[in-house]
Amino acid sequence: MKALSVVVPVYNEESTVAPLLDRVVQAPLPAGIEELELVAVDDGSLDGTWERLGAWRAGERGDGIPVTTRRLRHERNRGKGAALRTGFAAASGDIYLVQDADLEYDPSDYPVLLQPILDGLADVVYGSRFLGGPHRVLLFWHSVGNRFLTLVSNMFTGLNLTDMETCYKVFTADVIKRIRLVSDRFGIEPEVTAKVARLGCRVYEVPIAYHGRTYAEGKKIGWRDGVAAIWTILRFNLLAR
């Protein structure tokens, strides 16, 4: 039986953070998960996110699985990677699952994300937006950029991923303890991919739903992050060992 830690980096998501945390607490969990830990890290939000986190209370699950919560805060914005490092360090479960706070990713996908690890087949699971799951149709060039970065990453790691930049990444606690992450911003995605590949981890990929936002609706990642990702891929595959 396993304890699941869901790590949620949050930045300026006052309108979505409470509904998202409610969905996490009530998410379906497969047999084999006996505890749920939620670790939310406010990465120096400038809106009312921290106040929403302070007011939010976890409800009880109908299946009796106990829920514990931790709320942490960076005094200034440091980036998604820094927030994840803080969350990973605070988490105590057997399995770590990354969950964005913007409602683009659906916690109802947890069973399909967790099953390969629970079955003993995988050490790491990526949830792919490009394997046929339901998704909102928008932002063509954003999709092209994601596929290009995945291709470049695959060329160096030797993996055959379809969606390296996905939020939904699941790790055994042992994997997280064996890699040293240093990226502060969105470079965390290619960095962790390079490092799990170097470890020889068993990586699975499963289809997930995706409800993407437009930039007007609050999407944060942009073309500059894509350029930075190329440098990060080169850095952690060629220069850093």
d(CA 171, CA 164): 14
Q: Which residues contact 157 (CB under 8 A, 6 or more apart)?
A: 193, 194, 197, 198, 237
- pLDDT tens, 207-227? 999 986 555 544 556 656 667
| pLDDT higher at 212 or 97 | 97
Domain architecture of the chain: domains with CATH? 2-239 (3.90.550.10)
Q: Which of 175, 8, 153, 186 is nearest to 81 (CA)?
A: 186
Mean of pLDDT over the chain: 90
Which strands sit side by side in the sheet containing 124-128, from one edge to the other? 67-74, 33-43, 2-10, 95-98, 169-172, 124-128, 203-207
Q: What percentage of the chain reaches a pLDDT higher than 90?
A: 76
- pLDDT tens, 7-56? 999 999 999 999 999 999 999 999 999 999 999 999 999 999 999 999 99
| pLDDT higher at 215 or 140 | 140
pLDDT at 134: 63
Question: Mean per-residue pLDDT for 103-108?
Answer: 95
pTM over 0.75? The answer is yes
Q: Which of 117, 119, 139, 137 is nearest to 127 (CA)?
A: 117
pLDDT at 176: 97
Q: How close are the terminal C-alpha atoms of the chain, in Å? A: 34
Which among 126-135, 184-193, 199-208 has the top mean pLDDT? Answer: 199-208
pLDDT at 139: 62
pLDDT at 232: 81
pLDDT at 229: 73
**In the numeric block, which tokens belong to residue 229?**
């990702």
Look at 59-73, 139-153, 162-176 and tell me which has the smallest mean pLDDT: 139-153
